[in-house]
Chains A and B, each alone.
Chain A
Amino acid sequence: MEASGQAAGQAVALPRERARAGEPWAARVGRAVARGPLNILLAVLAVMWLVPTLGLLLTSLLPATAITQQGWWNVVAHPSLATWENYRAIFANSAITSALWTTVQIAVFNTVLLVVVASLAGYAFAWLDFRGRDWLFVGVIALLVVPLQVALIPIFTIYQDTGLFDTVLGLVLFHVAFGLPFGIFLMRNFFIGIPRDIMESARIDGASEWRIFTRLILPLGLPAIASLAIFQFLWTWNDLIVALTFGRNTQPLTVAIFSQTRQFGSNIELIAPASFLSLAIPLVVFLAFQRFFVQGLLAGSVK
């Protein structure tokens, strides 16, 4: 009895893993049973979500003939079927590699530009006093409801006239423009939560608005900036309709894959690895940046 009481006490103080080590096995089994239904449900959901992705991965590893004849699940039983040949092929295919490069350019540039503009605007909306600020912000919020599709044709015309059609810059600008309402909204709401005292203190310490922005707001806003960057990167990486509308030769990966679909026959051996590639890169980006999602970065600054 005493031992289990001690373990319960430890569970509060220590990380769960270590607390478990000192726990009687009966307690561990008891807890597993108690949480069983939930764990089973979560496992089922996870598998359901993963199956298509897994299928895509395994398909991309099969030779073209094997895909149509055998189905991807056979790779599980016969791992020897797997080959990297398809990947080698798409990296040798200049249409795919140049599309990948275009996607990277669009996704990176538009994300960077959006983050810069949205955080500057967010700071202004949160902390600078200027005439009409609140009305302007209401306007920004209102723009959130404008669907991107309604702008495709008018902007297509503008792009034709200005020479932005079929350029990376044109696609970047379009994505930034439609990312801004949400970006400004997110940034402003995060920045407004930064205690005013910190900024006033910096102002007294001799900081200009620009210094306050770069030395305080940006580092403190990192969680919000990371969220916005990840969202925007994913959206624009996966975009199809905008690139289809405003690009002819400027084709990102999504368009390139899309254009590989055929009514008859199949080049699944090209589509599968390219799709998986297109899916894996944002995943890596997400995993790399998710540590900036840490909460409580502001803890300890003001009581």
Chain B
Amino acid sequence: MAVVAFDAVSKVYPDGTRAVSSMDLEVGDQEFVVLVGPSGCGKTTALRMVAGLEQISEGRLRIGERVVNDVPPRDRDIAMVFQSYALYPHLSVYENIAFGLRLKKVPKDEIDRRVRQAAHVLDLEPWLKRKPRNLSGGQRQRVAMGRAIVREPAAFLMDEPLSNLDAKLRVAMRAEIARLQSELGVTTIYVTHDQVEAMTMGDRVAVMRRGVLQQVAPPQELYDRPVNVFVGGFIGSPAMNLLQGRLEDANGSGLTLRLGEQALALDRALLDARPALRGWVGRELIAGIRPEDLHDAALERDAPQDRRLRVDVQLREALGSEVIVHARIAAPPAATEQIEELTEDLGVRTLDAGSGGEAGAAETAIVGRLSPHSSVREGEAAEVAVDTRQLHFFDPETGLGIYDDTPDGRTDL
């Protein structure tokens, strides 16, 4: 049990690439912190620096009271679960789990006790004599977990441990790992590119982009108050719709957000939560609307006219519990470097993101999560009601979220 602290830690490769830039992060004792970000954002490098598998170029890394910059991996008292599981193929499940203990010269009966206990907890008892090649993916994953557990380390490091499992198993193991971690109370750093894992598992989530830590916060806060457009777009599934808008004063009765030819009246609660918005009247900004804040207007008859948007439905995906609707809206898309990066990470973010940016077209693909009772149909126009209390706003220049009256609208990191 220990605190793991990054103090201005950087990783610079010989060719000058900065994989991690001046990272500050303190993972509290027994805390579960998830590092998340698109591929190549430096999250795995950060984890490998904690493990001692990667040299630290600058800054200091502490585990417990010790600065471990120059401590070899075996003396760091950490256990790591690899994406590939990295099981020892020639050893049985039992020996795989016991490997670390044998190296530490733990007495035989103590090894046996710990291995059997771990096997019990992980439901591995029937397979202790098998070799890894005779196990299923989920079993291998659990062996890798068992190997980490029996060590009783100061910290667990997990590098995308679930990404090789199929979707169903992943959901089950996600809960399993979270449960184990809270039972064992071991400080854990967990790397993933899957924001659902990040949101469901972490006490706090650290979002990284291009080697820079963007925001560290509990999942809900990350969702509610993303520090910038990157975090806003990365957290949440389907991703937040990002549109270019203009804030206008509606004859003193409040503010409206103009999106193309349409306008949305902003809720007063929104202005209270984001006082800095008043400084943006008459200026272009990036508006973020989460898919879950869009509703089928046909089902919400009392939604006022000035909180509705007209869209052309392109595709309807009925999931049973909800309907994901892909549509186009006559409003320009937001385009910044951060948003482009999000798009690249997802491959193709929208149905036809390519045409969205065409000059004059000024159309943007948006996604809504509607009630399963929604009757919107593909190829038809529809009206969606927007929950304007939940809108997000970002500075188009810096990408930062617009919240308080601080000079740059920035809240604490």
Contacts and interface: CB of A to CB of B under 8 A. Distances in A.
Given A216-B88, A300-B140, A206 B51 contact: no
A177 interface: no
A197 interface: yes
A303 B74 contact: no
B80 A303 contact: no
Q: How many interface residues does chain B have, given as a range?
A: 20 to 34
B217 to A, nearest CB: 29
Interface in A172-206: 195, 197-198, 200-206
Interface string B102-144: 0110000000000000000000000000011111010010000
Interface of B, secondary structure class, is: loop
Contacts of B53: 200, 203-204
Contacts of B133: 296, 299-301
Given A204-B79, A204-B80, A300 B99 contact: no
B74 to A, nearest CB: 4
Contact of A303 (B51, B88, B104, B137): B137
Contacts of A303: 84-85, 137, 140, 164
Contact of B88 (A202, A204, A296, A299): A202
Nearest to B79: A204
B151 A205 contact: yes
A207 interface: yes
Interface string B74-90: 10101110111111111
B100 interface: yes
Q: How many interface residues does chain A have, given as a range?
A: 20 to 34
B147 interface: yes
B73 interface: yes
A217 to B, nearest CB: 11
A297 interface: yes
Given A203-B53, A205-B99, A205-B151, A300 B78 contact: no
Nearest to A300: B133
Interface in B153-171: 164
Q: Which of A211, A215, A301 has the most CB of B within 10 A?
A: A301
Given A205-B147, A205-B151, A206-B100, A300 B135 contact: yes
A104 interface: no
Contact of A201 (B52, B86, B104, B164): B86
Contacts of B135: 300
A143 B172 CA distance: 55
A297 B91 CA distance: 11
A302 B104 contact: no
B87 A300 contact: yes
Interface in A191-250: 195, 197-198, 200-208, 211, 215-216, 219-220
B89 A299 contact: yes
A301 B86 contact: yes
B84 A302 contact: yes
Contacts of A32: none
Contact of B103 (A205, A219, A220, A300): A205
B151 A300 contact: no
A298 B89 CA distance: 6
Contacts of B131: 300
Contacts of A198: 86-89
8 contacts: A200-B53, A202-B99, A204-B78, A205-B103, A205-B147, A216-B90, A302-B86, A303-B140
Counting from the closest, the 3 A-B pairs by CB-CB distance are: A300-B133, A301-B89, A302-B84
Interface of A: 195, 197-198, 200-208, 211, 215-216, 219-220, 296-303
